Amino acid sequence: MTLSQLRSSDTRALFARLSNFYDEDAGTQDDWSPLAFKAKCYDEDNPSFEQPMNGPNSEGNIEACKKECDTLEGMGVWEIVKREPWMNVLPCIWALKRKLYPDGTIKKLKNRLCAGGHCQTRNCNYHQRVFLPVISWSTVRLLLILSIILNLSTRQINFTSAFVYADIDKPPNFDQMTPQEQQCQGVFIEMPRGFPNPGKVLKLKKSLHGLKQAPKIWFNHLNDKLKLLGFVQCVDVDQCLFVSEKVILLCYVDDCLLYAKDPEDIQEVIRQLHAQNMQLKEEGSAEDFLAVDIKHDKEAGTITLTQTGLTDRIIKALGCDHLPLVTTPADTILHEDKDGEQATGDFNHASVIVMIWYLYGHSGSELGFALSHVSLFTHSPCHSHELALIQICLYLKGTRKEGMILKPAKFDTLFMDCHVDADFISVHGTERNLGMILCLPSPGPASSSASTIAPLSGLPSCRIQSPLAC
Amino acid sequence: MAECHALSTAMRYVLPLRNLTMTVAKAVGIPNEHLSTFKVT
């Protein structure tokens, strides 16, 4: 097998590291070793357990591990029980994290204890659907627009170590079980590495990072707490939207945005959350939510959404710092290119596309056409598809500080205009007919989408009106 | 027929957004006793 035949650029890079088995003349890889995958996993800032525990910072790492164990034990996350043969014991994993100052010195050693969720089986270690709803970005944008129109106060909060506050889930028929059977239920994990206790395991009383059900259990826990504070979950609209009499709350796992007319109402909610033993960190007004920079210009009455951090990561991933800028994300229609040159770039094609999709969904709606075309060939990209991806990257490089600008005008009535054109983008030379729908809460965009609907030449449009008293 | 198809598809996105707008408007004290109106041209 030649290196160029390998589909993933990561895999190509991985094989290339095995110089002992790589025949440069023939361009072939005769053998490979599992050690290559271990080498791939190594990261100085996220090291494996052995290396830092025997390195120069071993004392600091041991101390960080002790601190994590003491914290979790103090919160009653587990109880130590005797190991029994019938127990399905999950592995216990240390996720080590090293945070650095800009000058390279160590800022913090953060060692987190995780359960080996990859060994869990349904109806044994978890009993419910594990999917966690997350907020739709259309909802966030709509709230941002309304916050300008209605001059709402905003506040961002983050729940610290959120998952470990929720009680571990129980099987649906737990109440019908005998006390002996109930005692056997639960999630068991090995003793943490570095803290041996022969013949003992940990029985989890609360959720722990790494468990499949941890995000869902946390969301249910948060939902219960918010209900106690008078919030109602808007299930029919957006499951992560909670509304009380005076405050609106949006949540994305452990990040929340709060909106209210009176900032004192938000403060009261935060006080009540503290009273419910929810540890949270206040992060000021909504300026950076889910890695999207939100700049509010009160004089101009605009909100600008930018993602310079993600844009820089995309540019770095593609390694096109030295290439000139372009003014458009696409200038050709892509084809399958069966006879074309094979992909040669040393980057992960699919990974970069996913990053650009995130950018498109939050602040770069103009990338939709170019991105959807490049995405068609993610499974087996050719060189021409790589060039198209690089063109998007060069366009982003020139517009990295630009983003989506929301500038709602103050009207007595809130309009939502929807312009529909099934043949909005006519793609000649392909068999696909694209449609584009734009929904514009007057006048900034809140939602846009492309779908495969039949081509037509007409332009049906509709206007939804609802009264708005500003 | 194609226009109906396009409008129908559009409604899949518009109606949830309208419901969301009305929910949020109600939460921030905007009166919504009047029904929303649709104007199709």
CB-nearest to A236 from B19, B28, B39 is B19
* A141 CA: distance to closest CA in chain B (Å): 11
* Pair A206, A220: CB distance under 8 Å: no
Q: How far apart are CA A283 and CA A290, in angstroms?
A: 13
SS3 for A413-448, per residue?
EEEEEEEEEEEEECCCCCCCCEEEEEEEECCCCCEE
Give the other-Cβ count within 10 Å of A21's Cβ: 13
* Pair A115, A208: CB distance under 8 Å: yes
**What pLDDT is stored for residue A54 in this prediction?**
77
Tokens 């009993």 label which residue?
A127
CB contact under 8 A, A237 and B19: yes
Contacts of B1 (CB under 8 A, 6+ apart): none
CB-nearest to B41 from A261, A461, A464 is A461
Contacts of A90 (CB under 8 A, 6+ apart): A115, A116, A117, A119, A120, A125, A187, A188, A189, A190
Q: How far apart are CA A46 and CA A61, in angstroms?
A: 12
Contacts of A338 (CB under 8 A, 6+ apart): none
> Quick one: tokens of A255?
């990040």
CB contact under 8 A, B25 and A243: no
* Type of residue found at A262: D
- Please, how many CA atoms are within 13 Å of residue A146, restricted to the half-sphere of its CB? 28
Contacts of A183 (CB under 8 A, 6+ apart): none
pLDDT means per 10 residues, chain B with 41 residues, are 76 79 77 59 62
* A contact test, residue of B17, B22, B40 with most A CBs within 10 A: B17
CB contact under 8 A, B18 and A416: yes
Q: Which portions of chain A are predicted below pLDDT 70?
A: 1-45, 102, 409-417, 421-470
Contacts of A215 (CB under 8 A, 6+ apart): A130, A132, A163, A253
Tokens 């059977």 label which residue?
A181
Smallest Cα–Cα separation from A89: which of A56, A133, A121? A121
Beginning with the edge strand found earlier in the chain, give each strand of the sheet holding A404-406 in spatial order. Answer: A288-289, A292-297, A302-306, A404-406
How far apart, in Å, are the Cα atoms of A469 and each of A20, B21, B27, B39?
73, 14, 13, 21
Question: Exposure pattern of A415-426 as b/e (b: 16+ CB <10 Å)?
Answer: ebbbbbbbbbbe
* B contact test, residue of A463, A466, A470 with most B CBs within 10 A: A466
* B contact test, residue of A464, A468, A470 with most B CBs within 10 A: A464
- Please, how many CA atoms are within 13 Å of residue A298, restricted to the half-sphere of its CB? 4
Smallest Cα–Cα separation from A451: which of B6, B40, B41? B6
**What pLDDT is stored for residue A469 in this prediction?**
30
Helices (H), A42-116: 50-53, 58-74
Of chain B, the end-to-end C-alpha distance in Å amounts to: 15
**What pLDDT is stored for residue A443 in this prediction?**
44
Contacts of B21 in chain A (CB under 8 A): 142, 414, 416, 441, 466
Tell me if the bond preceding A443 is cis, omega within 30° of 0: yes
* B16 CA: distance to closest CA in chain A (Å): 6
- State the virtual CA torsion across A5, A10, A11, A12 in degrees, nearest 10: 50
- Mark residue A284 as left, alpha or beta (left: phi above 0; alpha: psi -120 to 50; beta: remaining): left
- B interface with A, Cβ–Cβ < 8 A, is 2-3, 5-7, 9-10, 13-14, 16-32, 34, 36-41
Q: How far apart are CA A138 and CA A348, in angstroms?
A: 29
* B8 CA: distance to closest CA in chain A (Å): 10
Q: How far apart are CA A247 and CA A260, in angstroms?
A: 5
**What pLDDT is stored for residue A357 in this prediction?**
93
> Quick one: tokens of A35?
């050690």
Q: How far apart are CA A93 and CA A117, in angstroms?
A: 10
The crossing angle, in degrees rounded to 10, of helices A383-398 and A349-362 is 40
CB contact under 8 A, B21 and A449: no
CB-nearest to B31 from A150, A462, A469 is A469
Smallest Cα–Cα separation from A443: which of A412, A414, A403, A401? A414
* A314 CA: distance to closest CA in chain B (Å): 30
CB contact under 8 A, B9 and A453: yes
* A contact test, residue of B19, B28, B34, B36 with most A CBs within 10 A: B28
